[in-house]
Amino acid sequence: MGRGDLTNAEWERLEPLLPEGGGRGGRWNDHRRTINGVLYRARTGLPWRDLPERFGSWITVYKRHRRWSADGTWQMLLTAIQAEQDAEGRVGWDISVDSTTVRAHQHAAGAPRTPPPPVRGRQKGDTAGTNRGDPVLAAGRPAGGGGQTGECLGRSRGGLTTKIHLSADSRCRALSLVLTPGQYGDSPQFRRVLATIRIPRLGPGRPRTRPDSLAADKAYSSRANRSYLRRRKIRHTIPEPRDQRAHRRRRGSTGGRPTGFNAERYKARNVVERAINRLKNFRAVATRYDKRAYIFLGTVTLAALVIWLRT
């Protein structure tokens, strides 16, 4: 077992969730070696063709990562581990929301403008990710196409960038992940990030989608976001920028009451910053090399999965 590979304990938790492997010449051979190959590439950021021979053919490792990014298998594994820990009471539901910008390598540009190919049908007994609740996957085709914006690449002074929006629990682990081009603002993606939180219960009951409380910086301060949180009855701590405070006061009684702010709760907002730092320890996350957005999202999801397994 090499440095960074799955341990025996981690593999025992993942193996029952994976598609059944075939025999000699079968379709799914040696999942563990292939996943270790994807992990090695995510950790080091090296080109796929330079994978060490101990992981087998590089094209096999790449194609399985691409397929599992498209059909939701990586997301399914992450959701399953989250549900397992939530059932044990090890998920901190005082969450924080933030985003981080990722520099895109020049090799990440140049994807075809046409949408990615449809996701192939699953074999009998394949327990890969479900399409329910995802209109893109339900249509049989992953997101992407249409140029740089469709592949979540944005232009800035530093070059091509992608932004990762995420929510993190109180133990510095990502609960939900959303990709946008690098120039997109944080506040418009706020609802989308919260809507992506969905942790099933191992017993009866609906999946949990609502945190106990939420903290975010002043980039997320808006009347629309606060109204959304009040409708969902989510306690929140978001500082009000000076210009918004002055505008509210100028309106007098029509400006509404002052926003509440819990300074002690806000001190714990750094958990999302620490979650971002953990994700960016994977070099293929800190710098984007994948041309397709759905493949890069699969890489980020895999990094989040490993963090959950090892926390």
Model confidence pLDDT, tens digit, residues 4-23: 899 999 999 999 999 876 55
For 12, 18, 63, 151, 159, the CA distances from 112, given in Å and listed in that order, are: 39, 31, 18, 10, 19
Backbone φ, ψ for residue 153 (5° rounding):
-115, 130
Of the pLDDT bands very low, low, confident and very high (cuts 50, 70, 90), residue 128 is very low
Average pLDDT over residues 136-149: 74
pLDDT of residue 256: 72
Lowest mean per-residue pLDDT among 113-127, 128-142, 191-205, 274-288: 128-142
pLDDT of residue 45: 96
pLDDT at 134 over 80: no
> Could you tell me if 65 and 294 are in contact, meaning their C-beta atoms sit under 8 angstroms apart?
no
pLDDT at 24 over 70: no
pLDDT at 264 over 80: yes
pLDDT at 193 over 90: yes
pLDDT of residue 125: 36
pLDDT of residue 253: 74
Of the pLDDT bands very low, low, confident and very high (cuts 50, 70, 90), residue 123 is very low
How much of the chain is helix, strand and coil, in % rounded to 5?
45, 15, 40
Q: What is the mean pLDDT of the chain?
A: 89
pLDDT at 162 over 50: yes
Closest CA to 244 of 224, 266, 272: 224
pLDDT of residue 21: 66
Average pLDDT over residues 171-186: 96
Average pLDDT over residues 135-163: 81
- Burial grade of 252 (CB within 10 A; 0-12, 13-18, 19 or more): exposed
Count of residues making up the chain: 311
Task: Name the more confident of 164 and 135.
Answer: 164
DSSP 8-state class, residue 108: G
pLDDT at 146 over 80: yes
Bridge partners of 215? 96, 237
Alpha-carbon distance 210 to 192, whole Å? Answer: 13
Alpha-carbon distance 166 to 44, whole Å? Answer: 23
Q: What percent of the chain has pLDDT over 70?
A: 90
Identify the three-state secondary structure at position 202: coil
Closest CA to 54 of 5, 9, 19: 5
pLDDT at 107 over 70: yes
Alpha-carbon distance 172 to 210, whole Å? Answer: 18
DSSP 8-state class, residue 287: E
